[in-house]
A and B are shown apart, each in its own frame.
Chain A
Amino acid sequence: MRRALKIYRLLVVQNLKRLMEYRADFLTGAVSFLIDQAVGIGFIFIIFSQIPQLAGFTFPQILFIYGLSQIPKGLDHLLTDNLWCIGYFIVRKGDFDKYLIRPINPLFHVIAENFQVDAIGELVVGIGLLVYAAPNADLHITVWTVLLSLIAIPFATLIYTSLKIMTSALAFWMKSSGFIIQMVYGMNEFAKYPTTIYSFPVRIFVTYIIPFAFTGYYLSLYILTGTDPLLSIGGVILISSVLFVISILIWNKGISAYESAGA
Chain B
Amino acid sequence: MNKIMKRYVPFMKAGVQSLIIYRLNFMGFVIGGLIYCFVMFYLWRAVFESNGGGIFLGFSMTDMVVYLFLSNTTTQLIFSDVSNEIGEEIRDGSISMRLLRPVNTDLSYMFGELGTALMKLVVLLIPVILGLEIYRFYVTGTIVFNPLNFLLYLFSAVLAYIISFRVNLCFGFIAFYVKNLWGIGILKNSVIGFLSGSLIPIAFMPEGLRICLEYLPFASMSYTPVMIYMGKYGAYEVLFRIAIQIIWAILLYGLSKLIWFGAIKKLCIQGG
A, B co-complexed: yes
Task: Name which residue of chain B comes closest to A195, CB basis.
Answer: B42
- Whole-angstrom distance between the Cβ of B69 and the nearest chain A Cβ: 15
Quick one: which of A54, A198, A202 contacts B50, CB cutoff 8 A? A54
Count B interface residues, CB 8 Å: 40
A39-B191, A198-B42 known; A178 vs B36 contact (CB < 8 Å): no
Count of chain A residues near B, Cβ 8 A? 41
A263 to chain B, nearest CB (A): 21
Determine if B271 is an interface residue (Cβ-Cβ < 8 Å): no
Whether A179 is near chain B, meaning CB under 8 Å from some CB there, is yes
Does A256 sit at the interface, judged by CB under 8 A? no
Interface-forming stretch among A4-12, A23-31, A140-148?
A23-31
Q: A197 near B46 (CB under 8 angstroms)? A: yes
Contact of A35 with B191 in the complex, beta carbons under 8 Å: yes
A50 cross-chain contacts in B, Cβ below 8 A: 47, 51, 56-57, 204
Main secondary structure, interface of A, reads helix
Nearest opposing residue in chain A for B180, CB measure: A25
Contact A28 B183 (CB under 8 A): yes
Q: Are A178 and B199 in contact, CB atoms less than 8 angstroms apart? A: no
Contact with A along B70-98 (1 / 0, CB 8 A): 00000000000000000000000000000
Pull 17 A–B residue pairs with CB atoms less than 8 Å apart, ordered by A. A22-B179, A25-B179, A28-B180, A32-B190, A39-B190, A47-B43, A50-B47, A50-B51, A50-B56, A53-B50, A55-B49, A176-B24, A179-B29, A183-B31, A190-B35, A193-B42, A202-B42
B residues with CB within 8 A of A: 24-25, 27-29, 31-32, 35-36, 38-39, 42-43, 45-47, 49-51, 56-57, 177-180, 182-184, 186-187, 189-191, 193-194, 199-200, 204-206
Which residues of A are in contact with B by a Cβ distance under 8 Å? 22, 24-26, 28-33, 35-36, 39, 42-43, 46-47, 49-55, 118, 176, 178-180, 182-183, 186-187, 189-190, 192-193, 197-199, 202
Other A-B pairs, 18, CB within 8 Å; known A35-B187, A36-B190? A24-B180, A25-B179, A26-B180, A32-B186, A36-B186, A43-B194, A43-B199, A49-B206, A51-B47, A55-B49, A179-B27, A182-B25, A182-B28, A187-B35, A189-B39, A192-B39, A193-B42, A198-B42
